[in-house]
Amino acid sequence: MTSALIVGVCTALVVVALLHRGTGTRTLLLRCIAVTLLASALLRELEEVDGGQPLADLLKRLIFLIALAAVVVLVLTFRRPAASTRTILRVWAGAATIGLIECLLLALMPAAPSDVLLYAHADTSMAAFLYYAIYETTIAATAIFCALGSAAVLVRTRQPLIARLSLVLLTLAAVTTLCYVGAGWISVGQEGSSPELLILRRHLFLATITLLLAGMTASGLHRLMVAVRASVTMSVATDVVEPLWREVVALHPGVRLAVDQPTRRERLLRLVVETNDALHRMRRGSQSPPDPLDPQAMAQLVIDVLGEDAVPGPLRRRTRLLVRLGALRADDALVSSIRDLYDMRTVFAVRDQRRARSTPIVPALPPETTGWIRTAP
């Protein structure tokens, strides 16, 4: 049952890593970690079937060393200032050196009669002791490095709740990794590992990869929420700007900017710039230019120039609700650029409400008996 869970969780890690959007270095490192963890887990489970052949054990270690090096490099990418290329190359060179040492120690290590490696060799052969000690120490050093890195980010920076949850889960994964290494050290030198220690190590390994899966999933959920929030922000801001832009730019088409295939944000900023330019031309053409910082005066200028019917109506109910919920708080630069236009739209909405209240209600007259068209008295 534990074996199936280990393989299943590692497979889920690969799926989550592949679903992660992006083509940058961090995305590639995440995928490398997930794939190498799955490969090492499969080899680990095969050892339980065939008794643990030396070459299979060595291959598992070499693959896992790749995962450890990728983890260290991934943590280094979050440092400020960013780690240099030379530092990253040193990490990979260190992992390769440890792998070569492991290969050499395997060649020097005595094998059991059945050609199966045993922890019991560690108290009779220096090569066997170093074979296990270097590998376990590398795992422990990587876990400590990751725990310190995650703790530093948690303490020094202000992170959203989901991002903090992801960091906490990754820190817990580092702690369970240290416990896994500790259980391995207890097994070194014994005449075969006790069943209790083997079960404990398997459970600790399962706990570690489960915490990694939860941390990666939480991190992916955080990125998804950021993307959704950015999309909502763009939608709300566009709804604020575009109706006014459409009317004022139609009056001054010369303010249009030439932009080829802009992104959604670039298009919105272009609308803001063009709208402000058109409003500036309206002010220059006015006999008594209003204060550009006074939304009431600017709104009245737009009404005088465009006419009552051409002025944009009130904001949609969805937009007003999202603004109240803080949809525009995620982007301070964007909010500052559309604040004046939003205030003008608010003035237009108040004007429409006053006009609706002041308009007299004329009762409907019944149709004439000669037809459906009313005739004037």
Q: Residue 73: which domain range?
A: 2-217
Report which DSSP code applies to 231.
Answer: H
Helix ranges (DSSP H) in 286-316: 295-306
Domain total of the chain:
2
Regarding whether 283 and 203 lie in a shared domain, the answer is no
Judge if pTM exceeds 0.75: no
Task: Give backbone dihedrals phi and psi of 195, rounded to 5 degrees, phi first.
Answer: -60, -35
pLDDT at 157: 66
Report, as an integer, the average pLDDT of 30-35. 86
Burial readout 67-89 (b: 16 or more C-beta within 10 A, e: otherwise): bbbbbbbbbbeeeeeebeeeebe
Average pLDDT of the residues in 54-83: 85
170 and 272 housed in the same domain: no
Looking at the predicted structure, is the pLDDT value of residue 34 above 80?
yes
Structure letter (DSSP) for residue 81: S
pLDDT band at 374 (very low <50, low <70, confident <90, very high): very low
Give the list of residues 6+ apart from residue 28 with CB closer than 8 angstroms, or none.
none
State the chain's mean pLDDT as an integer. Answer: 78
Tell whether 66 and 122 lie within a shared domain: yes
Q: 113: pLDDT confidence band, cut at 50, 70 and 90?
A: very low
Structure confidence at residue 370 (pLDDT)? 38
Q: Are residues 32 and 130 in the same domain?
A: yes
CATH label of the domain that carries residue 22: 1.20.1070
Distance CA 377, CA 341 (A): 46
Q: What is the dihedral of CA 367, 369, 373, 377, to 10 degrees?
A: -80
Asked if pLDDT for residue 44 goes beyond 70, the answer is yes
Sequence letter at residue 313: G
Residue 377 is assigned to a structural domain of this protein: no
| Co-location of 283 and 173 in the same domain | no
**Beta carbons of 239 and 314 less than 8 angstroms apart:** no
- % the chain with pLDDT above 90: 8
Q: Are residues 212 and 278 in the same domain?
A: no
Task: Give a yes or no: residue 376 inside a domain.
Answer: no
Same domain as 193, residue 47 = yes
Last residue of a domain, one of 217, 237, 271: 217
Please write the tens of the pLDDT for every residue from 215-271. Answer: 878 777 777 777 788 888 888 888 888 888 888 888 888 888 776 667 788 888 888
284/199 same-domain check? no
Per DSSP, 365 falls in state P
Compute the average pLDDT of residues 6-22.
77
The answer to whether residues 9 and 152 belong to one domain is yes
Reply yes or no on whether the pLDDT at 369 is more than 50: no
- Residue of 42, 37, 34, 39 lying closest to 13 (CA atoms): 34
Structure tokens at 132: 């296990």
Cα 160 to Cα 5, 46, 167, 217: the distances in Å are: 31, 41, 11, 15
Q: How confident is the model at residue 363 (pLDDT cuts 50, 70, 90)?
A: very low
